[in-house]
Amino acid sequence: MVGMWWLLLSLVWWCGTTAIPAPGPFMPPSSSTTNLPDAWTCPEITQQPVVECSCDMPHTLRCSGSRGAMQIIGKKLRSIGSDPGVSLLDCTIQNMTALPGLLLQGVALHGLVISSGEITEVHHTAFQGLASPLQALGLPNNKLTSVPTQALKSLPELDRLDLSSNKMKYVDAESFKGLQNLSFIELSDNILTKIAPNAFDDLPQLRILRLRGNQLTVYSITAMDPLPTIEELELSENQLLGPLGPHTFPPMESLGDLQLGHNTLSSIKKDALMGLTNLTTLSLHHNQIDVLEDNAFSQLGGLVHLDLAHNRIVAVSGASLAHLVNLLELDLRHNFLRALTADLILPLKSLEGLRLDDNDISIVASDALKNTTVLKRLTLSDNPLNCDCSLIEFAVWLSGSTLTGEDKNSPVCATPPSLENGLLVNVAVKDLVCGEDDEVIGAIEAPIEARINLETFNYDGSNVILEWSVEDSAVPYTCDAIFVYEEEGQAEVLLESNPLKCNSSQVKNPKSLRVTVPSSTHLQPGHRYRYCVVLLESKQMADDLSLVLGCSDVLPLVQSGRVLPRTDIASTNSKLPRVISIQANLSYNGHLGILLNIYPQPQLASSQCEINIAILEQGALLSQRRVNCSEPKYSYVGLNTGPYRVCANIILPNPTLDPALKPRCITVFKHVEARRFSTLDVAFVSIFLILSFMVIALIWGVRRVLLRPKLTTHQCFLPPELDDEQQHNRYVKLQATTKL
């Protein structure tokens, strides 16, 4: 219906009306208006109940009626001639299943729309005999099963064709034969499953093609011949499934607007849509996209508007957006983004509007927004922002930005509780603090023990193979997962995590564990990575499940790399204090306690030695605190299951490059312990069991007394006629009972 309305408006413009101009793609040549007079009188056509007509715009006649109405309308229009004439005739006819031949012979029209909801057939001479060339034809909301090719051959000057909301399943190579002037085709809301590859080859003027609401697959689109003149292509609400790749679409050098919303596209591959080099608008909303590969838009440098709303995107890397230097509008609403980082904004030099509503964003990186950022619109409503010290830079930028008041009010704090539901723009910078309400706890017993050490590391150019030594105390065990972290500056980012299958009872030497890193093709040579293995210790006498974690140092990815055994810490020649171990316990209620072991004990004054403690989640900083070396402990509340990275390093008054001062990190998961009974619980259960036993015994005794048979006083007892010496006591009782 939208296409039909544009068709109607464009025809009104064509007829000389200046009150309602038509959009650019529908503008006819300016010379078309010179032959139309300015005077206009609506023809009176009313013959109840067959037909009734009216005019709501100049040169536009709308009629409704039943079968036979078209003959009455045609006769009337022939009688009044074409000066002043009706340029557009829009008819809604009931009970009409076929358009007859010579339907409007002798009538001068520029546009014709006929709907009945029942038309299944169009006679091959239906449009013959018109007094002027028909420029636009609409047959929407009918039951046509194919393009009426034979009837359309009478309209060689046809410029726009609307066949939406019919029952067509297939478009073949002959469907538009002879219509070389067509610039607009509307085939939306049919049931198309296949389009011949050369269906649109003989349409050199075709600029707009709308195929929304059909059943087309990626194969149907990929098989199409190149469409060099297409400027707008609408393919929303089809059955496009799978990744969007370089060859999903044929080359279309003129295409500027591509609509692919409401499909089931899963990802965007490298160099996607490489044949659409002049694309300016790309709509991919309401798909199932979860991955944007690096260089995904490398061929779309001219893109201005990109809509990725309502997908499953978790993170966006700078490499995937790096080529969109002309992008003005980016819509990422209703995804699963967890942080707003510099990767998302800095590559987009021209970005003016960014919509991030309804994601999982809790962190805004300090370097994400700078004074040079040209954003005019930024929306962050319905995101769980953690308003702590990590948001100070963003809060300062927000208050000084030129965003509208509505946009400035969109970031709302979810945590900490003291700022819940507060507008970030109204929060004072001094209130954005980290760890002020945390309680420092005493000694902590770590549930994660480092009893696995990396012995050898090998990289053959395609696979990473790790040899781990497992201490006897960790056997028996089963494998749980392997994590790979990539070093990025001072931080480490979780690159991937994969389940790991193994069982120590099924290997010859359980103290040696060989692991091949899954998806190692994602790792890049020369980059630095840390590898962590998680085992599940399964002691037979233990009540709780124990996690055993082993992590390597940060290692460069080079071929034939080998890890040498670590030297004993006590034998080091360095006199500088260092963090030699981190103990961390993440309790069931989200309370993370951290205790550090410093060696050797610092000889400096306690005020001159500090430890920097950082808690990270997937590379994003959650909390950071400096503590004195004399009190090497810290706690943080409000965490989920994890994993989290806890890193600590010594800070001295005189900076040094000694390796001892590099951060030491461990990974922490939530450790859910089985409930342990206290002494009071045991006493209560014991008393309850004793009382229950006493009650049961009492009931049983009373019941036994009440049901005992009174044989000595029974009136019906007759002893058997035997000698007393031969009568056995048990026999007497048995016989007595039988007689009773």
Q: What is the mean pLDDT of residues 380-399?
A: 91
d(CA 444, CA 587): 11
- Structure confidence at residue 13 as a pLDDT band (50, 70, 90): very low
Is pLDDT of 256 > 50? yes
Per-residue confidence (pLDDT) for residue 661, from 0 to 100: 57
Per-residue confidence (pLDDT) for residue 155, from 0 to 100: 94
Per-residue confidence (pLDDT) for residue 662, from 0 to 100: 62
Per-residue confidence (pLDDT) for residue 241, from 0 to 100: 94
Q: What is the mean pLDDT of residues 343-367?
A: 91
Q: What is the pTM of this model?
A: 0.59
**Token reading at 628:** 């004195």
Per-residue confidence (pLDDT) for residue 692, from 0 to 100: 86
Is pLDDT of 385 > 70? yes
Per-residue confidence (pLDDT) for residue 451, from 0 to 100: 67
d(CA 331, CA 351): 11
Q: What is the mean pLDDT of residues 232-257?
A: 95
Q: What is the mean pLDDT of residues 136-153?
A: 95
**Share of residues in the chain with pLDDT > 70 (%):** 76
């989920």: which residue's tokens? 640
Query: What are the boundaries of each domain within the chain?
Result: 1-29+40-215, 438-676, 680-739
Per-residue confidence (pLDDT) for residue 5, from 0 to 100: 45
Give the range among 101-105, 183-187, 485-489 with minimum mean pLDDT: 485-489
């810290």: which residue's tokens? 634
Instruction: Give burial (CB, 10 Å; 0-12/13-18/19+) of 583.
Output: buried
Q: What is the DSSP string of 73-116?
A: HHHHHHHHTTTT--SEEEEEESS--EEPSSTTTT---SEEEEE-
Give the range among 31-45, 118-132, 225-239, 267-281 with minimum mean pLDDT: 31-45
Higher pLDDT, 229 or 555: 229
Is pLDDT of 217 > 90? yes
Cis peptide before 384 (omega within 30 of 0): no
Is pLDDT of 218 > 90? yes
> CA 11 → CA 29, 44, 415, distances in Å?
12, 21, 57
Mean pLDDT of the chain: 79
Per residue in 587-610, pLDDT (tens digit) is 766 778 888 877 666 654 445 678
- Structure confidence at residue 491 as a pLDDT band (50, 70, 90): low
Q: How many other CB atoms sit within 10 Å of the CB of residue 707? A: 7
d(CA 389, CA 679): 44
Give the range among 199-203, 490-494, 548-552 with minimum mean pLDDT: 490-494
Higher pLDDT, 549 or 732: 549
Q: What is the mean pLDDT of residues 337-346?
A: 88
For residue 627, the SS3 value is: strand
For residue 570, the SS3 value is: helix
438-676 homologous superfamily: Macroglobulin (MG2) domain (2.60.40.1930)
Per residue in 513-538, pLDDT (tens digit) is 888 886 555 677 778 888 888 887 76
Higher pLDDT, 427 or 566: 427
Per-residue confidence (pLDDT) for residue 489, from 0 to 100: 62
Per-residue confidence (pLDDT) for residue 654, from 0 to 100: 57
Instruction: Give burial (CB, 10 Å; 0-12/13-18/19+) of 227.
Output: buried
Per residue in 79-110, pLDDT (tens digit) is 876 555 788 999 999 989 999 998 888 888 99
Is pLDDT of 270 > 70? yes
Q: What is the mean pLDDT of residues 261-287?
A: 94
- Structure confidence at residue 575 as a pLDDT band (50, 70, 90): low
- Structure confidence at residue 142 as a pLDDT band (50, 70, 90): very high
Q: What is the mean pLDDT of residues 347-367?
A: 91
The most confident of 360-369, 485-494, 507-516, by mean pLDDT: 360-369
Q: E strands, 83-219, where?
A: 88-93, 98-99, 111-115, 121-122, 136-138, 160-162, 170-171, 184-186, 194-195, 208-210
Q: What is the DSSP string of 477-492?
A: EEEEEEEEEEEETTEE
Sign of the dihedral through C-alpha 699, 701, 704, 708 = negative
Q: What is the mean pLDDT of residues 394-415?
A: 92
- Structure confidence at residue 708 as a pLDDT band (50, 70, 90): low
Instruction: Give CA 583 to chain center in angstroms.
Output: 36
Nearest to 484 by CA among 523, 525, 431, 451: 523
CATH-assigned architecture of domain 1-29+40-215? Alpha-Beta Horseshoe (3.80)
Per-residue confidence (pLDDT) for residue 200, from 0 to 100: 95
- Structure confidence at residue 185 as a pLDDT band (50, 70, 90): very high
Per-residue confidence (pLDDT) for residue 23, from 0 to 100: 37
Q: E strands, 416-556, where?
A: 448-449, 452-459, 464-470, 477-488, 491-499, 512-516, 528-537, 546-551, 555-556
Q: What is the mean pLDDT of residues 608-627?
A: 76
* 8 A C-beta contact, residue 584 and residue 666: yes
Q: E strands, 328-374, where?
A: 329-331, 339-340, 353-355, 363-364
Per residue in 21-78, pLDDT (tens digit) is 333 333 333 334 334 445 678 888 888 888 999 998 888 999 999 888 888 888 888 8
d(CA 445, CA 429): 36
Per-residue confidence (pLDDT) for residue 733, from 0 to 100: 36
Q: What is the DSSP string of 404-440?
A: -HHHHT--BEEESGGGTT-BGGGS-GGG--SSTTPPP
d(CA 624, CA 616): 9
- Structure confidence at residue 15 as a pLDDT band (50, 70, 90): very low
Q: Which positions ≥6 away from 146 have C-beta within 8 Å?
A: 168, 170, 175
**Share of residues in the chain with pLDDT > 90 (%):** 37
